[in-house]
Amino acid sequence: MAEKSKKKQLGQGIRALLANMDTEDEQDIQSISKELSKNVAMIPIEWIEANPQQPRTNFDKEAIEGLAESIKVHGIIQPLTLRRLSEESFQIIAGERRFRASQIAGLEAVPAYVRLADDQQLLEMALVENIQREDLNALEVAISMNRLIAECELTHDELSGRLGKERSTVTNYLRLLKLPPQIQQAVRDKSISMGHARSLAGITDLTEQLFVFNKLMSEELSVRKLEALIRLRHGGGTKKTKSDAGEIDPELKKIRDQLSGVFGAKVALERNKKGAGKIVIHFKNDDGLNHILDLIDNLD
């Protein structure tokens, strides 16, 4: 009984709006649609069903399980979009991968935008209006842009025209959604700027991306210094060190790069023909050392 009561409470945040959805007053419907389009509600998972018209039918099992692990740690950063069918029934418009991963992660409820079935034009107007707000962080702008493309079926060119922004600006914002969760969270918290995030998004290797991000955070790099670091690490005048001058086993290089990503610091790894060797983790100051020690203390 207590469990049922708990699940009822999860959806109460938008009940005041949903209760008025059956009104015949067009002005009320528009007002409710606009309000729902920009507010996030926690919807119980058992109230949600997949869209039978979903064009995508194949979902990578390993990718979904990986996303589930990320959700356990970081939660859902980008809310789902749902269509209300009845008081306790919602259908997925966008976010089925996040929905499936949330089920695996054992969540009872997920954050979601709720839409009326016929509010396409109103949604577009509300999202465009939302993007123009000055208090949004870069990730919130990116999420709103992505919703316009996915739910209103706009191309990048059409979206740039609607917003009065260059197409490259739209592309740069959307690239933020491909960043790993910890970097997205830093953008959301405004710990890093759009300029930082744009530079990080240009790094295609995840391990390298996380290494540079951790270095950015630990050393509080400016955008210009971050760009210089990325150029240096990707062949822009890099001097070869002793360990890099000769050939290194690809497997050892992979391990070295993974350790660099974990500790956010340069790591040297040497191993002789008998299998003996050493791992050296570099740091520049006491803060860097404390950061590494904290990471080691938190290892299971």
Q: Are 139 and 201 in contact (CB under 8 A)?
A: no
- Among 73, 3, 74, 87, which Cα is nearest to 43's? 87
- 43 φ, ψ (degrees, to nearest 5): -110, 125
Q: How far apart are the C-alpha atoms of 128 and 289, rounded to whole Å?
A: 46
- 114 φ, ψ (degrees, to nearest 5): -110, 130
Beta strands in 73-226 (DSSP E): 80-86, 89-94, 109-115
By the 10 Å C-beta count (0-12 exposed, 13-18 middle, 19+ buried), 142 is classed as buried
Q: Which of 96, 140, 208, 227 is catalytic?
A: 96
Terminal C-alpha separation, the chain: 37
- Beta-bridged to residue 83, according to DSSP, are 91, 115
Q: Are 261 and 211 in contact (CB under 8 A)?
A: yes
What is the 8-class DSSP label of residue 192? Answer: S
96 is catalytic: yes
Tokens representing residue 162 in the block: 């609607």
Single-letter amino acid, residue 56: R
Angle at 120 between CA 148 and CA 24, to 5 degrees: 150
CA distances to 93, 141, 164, 170, 227 from 158, in Å: 21, 16, 10, 10, 31
Q: Which residues are catalytic?
A: 96
